[in-house]
Structures are given as C-alpha cells and as structure tokens.
C-alpha cells in the first residue's frame, strides 16, 4: 500500500535552530532606550459660561463647547504614545490654574480620565472671562514648571467684560513656551446659558446683564450677551504669545496636534523590541513547515 505523503515535511534543522535562537532572544531581550518624539503638554480648558453654548458637534449631535473640548482630550489620551506626559488646567475669571501637573499617560491613564471628567462649571470660581490674561497665565504656569511643557489652550475667545487694551505681561516673552491656541465654537452669535454654582442652568444672559462695548458712530451695536468663536482675537493672542492658532472642528484632531513636531521633543524612552526577533522566528517556522503543493495543483501542472 502506498504510504501517504506527510503534509508537513521536514526541510532541515538549520531553520529550526535559527528560529529557536530568535525566540530565546525575544524572551531575554531587554528594553532598548531610544530617543523618540514625545510631548509634555498642559491642556487648559476654558470653563467660563460661554463655553456652555451648544454649537459644537460630536458625531452629529449638538454639544457644549466645553463637552467638545473634554471629549477631544479624552480621545487624544488614547492616541498618545507611552512616554508622553499630560496635565490639566482650568481658566476662568482672569487666571489659569494648574489642576494636575503633567504625568505619564500610560501609567496614569485612568487617573487622567477621572480628573478630566470633573472639569466643568462646578469648579468655576468667577463669572468673568478675561481670555487674554488667562492665556498669559497659562504660559507663565508652563514656564514656571521648569520641564518646558507645551500649552494647549481650548477656548472660544469670548472676553467678558470686553477687552479695552491688551494686558501687559512684561515677564512673558513671545515664543518662550510652545503650543496651540485652539478655537472652539461656531461663527453665529448664540445666547449664553446662565448657570448657578452647582452648574445648574437658570436661564440666559441678557443684554442688560453684561457690560457692552461702546460702539463708535456707524458701527454695529455690541452683543456681549451672545457668543461666537472670536477667531480674530485668538489669532492676535497667538501672535503675541508665540502659540499657534487653529480652529478645532474634529475632536480626533487634537491627538495629532499634540504629536506635532512643533511641540513634541525627543525623549529617551525604554522601548521593547522583542517583537522583531519573534516575528523573524515565526517567519522561519512558517517557511520550514509550509505544506506541500496540493494535489490539484500537481494534477493541473501535469495536464
């Protein structure tokens, strides 16, 4: 009786020995320290009441500007490579306060998510919104940390009360801190929700409730009780501080901005490369144990 052909023929011991050595190397291989681009960032959230305007979109659903900003940060955390460091800060009234200094994203992922969820109107300590001062305070906070983190400031640019002249911050030099000034919101003025101390909505701000700009003759009346994205103002602030302005329309875009070479810097990171010899070993084993040509292919070649 004819003996059936073995489906897995042996094709030499050399490939098996090489695969065994590669697998042993993969198991014993220590982490290699490589210079890789990593970011260290302080993400600043504007938590003033104009950020409660619901003219942003998440998956086709209208949401508040602040909810859009938080979701953008949450998605960015998932995309940042290990070794990156992120911290949170909040702006309201005229100051930016650091809530959490930058920490490594992979080891502290759950802690970053938990603290991010608490950043909303409940921690607001004033109703003013002096954005220009807040941006300068953010630059100061990053500079004073000593580790040279970048700043990502998420805001609609709404100044309340209206800005008369740009504040002087003589200790802040243009370009001293890298980062992004990101605009959130739509171009159409919208009513600003009025909220209580616990974040509960109690109506909307009216024209008589807020300070209006003095309109020159022939100029349109001010509407400081309404809010839209103030891009021209944010571009001016970006030029003064050395930050880069961009409008944030897609929540998935924030991760790319935080990995941008303009704010990322080379950091020596322990990197596992065990997968390289492991993949080579699997390729050798696959070649060694590749099946014989199927019968139909041999029959076809004969015919």
Find, among 172, 165, 179, 222, the residue nearest to 89 by Cα.
179
Handedness of CA 207, 208, 210, 215 (dihedral sign): positive
The predicted pLDDT at position 33 comes to 66
By mean pLDDT, which of 18-27, 43-52, 255-264 is the weakest?
A: 18-27
What confidence tens digit (pLDDT) does each residue in 231-270 have?
999 999 999 999 999 999 999 999 999 999 888 876 665 6
In the chain, CATH 3.40.50.410 covers 35-267
- Nearest alpha-carbon partner for 187 in 239, 249, 245: 249
| Pairing, β 40-46 against β 150-155 | parallel
Q: Is residue 84 a contact partner of residue 43, using CB atoms and an 8 Å limit?
A: no
Query: Cα angle at 26 between 25 and 29, to 5 degrees?
Result: 70
Buried b (16+ CB within 10 A) or exposed e, 6-36: eeeeeeeeebeeebeebbeebeeeeeeeeee
d(CA 52, CA 12): 70
**Rg for the chain (alpha carbons), in Å?**
28
The first and second tokens of residue 141, run together, are 């906070």
Question: pLDDT tens, 155-175?
Answer: 999 999 998 888 888 888 999
* Per-residue pLDDT at 10 exceeds 50: no
Domain topology for 35-267: Rossmann fold (3.40.50)
The highest-confidence range among 134-143, 267-276, 283-292, by mean pLDDT, is 134-143
Contact 233, 213 (CB under 8 A): no
Q: What is the pLDDT of residues 203-231, one digit of tens each?
A: 999 998 898 887 666 667 788 999 999 99
Considering Cα of 26, then 27, then 33, then 37, what sign does the dihedral take?
Answer: positive
In angstroms, rounded to a whole number, what is the distance separating the alpha carbons of residues 73 and 181?
14
pLDDT over 70 percentage in the chain: 82
Output b/e per residue, 257-277; b: 16+ Cβ within 10 A: bbbbeebbeeeebeeeebeeb
């Amino acid at each position: 009786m004819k003996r059936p052909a073995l489906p897995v023929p042996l094709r030499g011991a050399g490939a098996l020995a090489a695969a065994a050595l590669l697998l042993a190397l993969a198991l014993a291989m220590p982490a290699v320290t490589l210079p890789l681009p990593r970011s260290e960032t302080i993400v600043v959230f504007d938590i003033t009441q104009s950020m409660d305007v619901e003219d942003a979109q998440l998956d086709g659903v209208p949401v508040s500007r602040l909810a859009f900003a938080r979701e953008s940060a949450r998605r960015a955390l998932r995309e940042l490579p290990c070794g990156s460091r992120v911290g949170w800060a909040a702006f309201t009234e005229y100051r930016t306060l650091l809530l959490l200094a930058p920490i490594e994203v992979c080891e502290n992922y759950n802690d970053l998510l938990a603290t991010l969820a608490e950043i909303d109107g409940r921690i607001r300590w004033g109703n003013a919104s002096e954005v220009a001062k807040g941006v300068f305070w953010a630059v100061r906070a990053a500079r004073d940390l000593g580790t040279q983190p970048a700043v990502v400031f998420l805001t609609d640019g709404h100044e309340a009360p209206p800005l008369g002249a740009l504040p002087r911050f003589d200790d802040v030099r243009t370009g001293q801190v890298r980062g992004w000034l990101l605009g959130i919101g739509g171009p159409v003025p919208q009513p600003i929700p009025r909220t209580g101390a616990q974040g509960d909505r109690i109506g909307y701000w009216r024209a008589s409730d807020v300070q209006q700009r003095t309109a020159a003759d022939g100029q349109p009346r001010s509407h400081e009780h309404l809010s839209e994205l103030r891009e021209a103002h944010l571009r001016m602030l970006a030029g003064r501080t050395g930050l880069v302005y961009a409008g944030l329309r897609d929540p998935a875009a924030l991760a790319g901005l935080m990995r941008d070479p303009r704010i990322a810097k080379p950091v020596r990171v322990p990197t596992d490369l065990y997968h390289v010899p492991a993949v080579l070993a699997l390729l050798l084993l696959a070649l060694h144990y590749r099946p014989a040509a199927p019968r139909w292919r041999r029959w076809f070649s004969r015919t």
